[in-house]
């Protein structure tokens, strides 16, 4: 973290350091510097705090140990059990997530197979931040892992009579590659991905100058950030970037983690983030799901899209998270299509991040102890009840 007004970049260079990332939305930079110079870096003018970069991972999608479902001839469409469990099909007569370019979900993951026939029409934009380099070259944000394509399919697979269908089959997706093809990435690259989600394709925050970012038809910031990833270590700079997105009105959803731990991992544990736990087809909490989620969603044996025009069944809180992100998109799209701008500043009826979270809480299927509990949080999300609560 730095003071932008007094930061002495030349002093950093004198220590053999090189600035790799300059964030636009928070006072922070990423510096590559010899290890023996770190102590001296602390005394450089304008340096407020130093943290070592950390690694996050895509939560493993524990498949059934079989090859992906390849499709030399396209199969008839099926509705995955998780989509059905949260009653998403009951909402599609009201909204499918379409909003004339107003509602976008940014998925920070391993990228996407942008040519997949069940996804291509909904991929509005893609960008990679791997290695601290922002690149919109489609080759750079292609998914060579499979995890990101699977997650995006659960949110937004098309209702097109082939393969599968997602929670919000007409929502626009920003595919932001922050994890490499091994499924790992640095916190600094994830922070850059969050920043890209806020800046959008035009690279400008609040392009029309009216102060409204989220849900403004004239701005292209993402309304939802979905992260099926996590790490085990806290980080001030990562948290600051998440706070920035939250303060701009973005709903941030993240996987609670697959370690069967007693609390969510980072960034899901941050109070600005909706932490998602995983359940199975009998509504039991998945054995691997970290405790103390905010809500839960289907995350075991989830069928979704996979690279090379295929499909795969995976398990994990990674698979639960996009169910919730999709429901949030349905809430926002339904609200926008009925009332207009999602975040009309200064009115009592703002569909703010906290309002969306409250809707998820009160409309969830409350399993376990009454109210919030450490296993289900507030319960398994319900798309039908959530959308009805949003639009009245």
Residues belonging to the active site? 109, 147, 318
Question: CA-CA distance, 28 to 22, in Å (whole number)?
Answer: 7
Q: Which residues pair with 69 in a beta bridge?
A: 311
Query: What values do phi and psi take at 22, rounded to 5?
Result: -115, 110
Residues 6+ apart with CB under 8 A from 352: 249, 343
Question: CA-CA distance, 165 to 80, in Å (whole number)?
Answer: 7
Burial of 52 (0-12, 13-18, 19+ CB in 10 A): exposed
Question: CA-CA distance, 294 to 274, in Å (whole number)?
Answer: 6
Question: CA-CA distance, 93 to 287, in Å (whole number)?
Answer: 35
């Amino acid at each position: 973290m730095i003071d932008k007004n007094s930061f002495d970049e030349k002093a950093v260079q004198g220590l053999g350091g090189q600035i790799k990332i300059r964030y636009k939305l928070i006072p922070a930079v990423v510096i590559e510097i010899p290890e023996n110079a770190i102590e001296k870096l602390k005394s450089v003018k304008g340096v407020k705090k130093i943290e070592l970069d950390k690694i996050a991972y895509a939560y493993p999608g524990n498949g059934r140990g079989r090859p992906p479902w390849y499709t030399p001839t396209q199969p008839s469409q099926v509705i995955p059990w998780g989509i059905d469990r949260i009653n998403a099909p009951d909402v599609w007569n009201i909204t499918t997530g379409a909003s004339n370019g107003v509602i976008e979900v940014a998925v920070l993951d391993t990228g996407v197979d942008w040519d997949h026939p069940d996804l291509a029409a909904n991929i509005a934009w893609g960008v990679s931040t791997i290695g601290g380099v922002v690149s919109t070259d489609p080759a750079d944000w292609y998914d060579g892992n499979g995890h990101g394509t699977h997650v995006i399919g659960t949110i937004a697979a098309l209702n097109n009579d082939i393969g599968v269908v997602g929670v919000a089959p007409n929502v626009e997706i920003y595919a932001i590659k922050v994890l490499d093809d091994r499924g790992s990435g640095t916190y600094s690259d994830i922070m850059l991905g969050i920043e890209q989600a806020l800046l959008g394709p035009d690279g400008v925050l609040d392009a029309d100058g009216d102060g409204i970012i989220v849900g403004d038809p004239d701005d292209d910031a993402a309304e939802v950030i979905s992260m099926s990833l996590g790490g085990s270590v806290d980080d001030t700079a990562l948290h600051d970037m998440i706070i920035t997105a939250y303060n701009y009105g973005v709903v941030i959803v993240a996987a609670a983690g697959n370690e069967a731990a007693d609390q969510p991992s980072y960034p899901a544990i941050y109070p600005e983030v909706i932490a998602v736990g995983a359940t199975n087809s009998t509504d039991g909490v998945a054995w691997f799901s970290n405790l103390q989620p905010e809500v839960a969603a289907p995350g075991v044996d989830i069928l979704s899209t996979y690279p090379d025009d295929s499909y795969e069944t995976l398990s994990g809180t990674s698979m639960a998270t996009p169910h919730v992100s999709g429901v949030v998109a349905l809430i926002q799209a339904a609200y926008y299509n009925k009332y207009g701008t999602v975040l009309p500043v200064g009115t009592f009826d703002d569909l703010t991040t906290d309002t969306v979270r409250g809707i998820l809480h009160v409309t969830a299927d409350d399993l376990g102890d009454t109210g919030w509990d450490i296993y289900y949080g507030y319960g398994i999300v319900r798309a039908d009840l959530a959308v009805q609560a949003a639009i009245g």
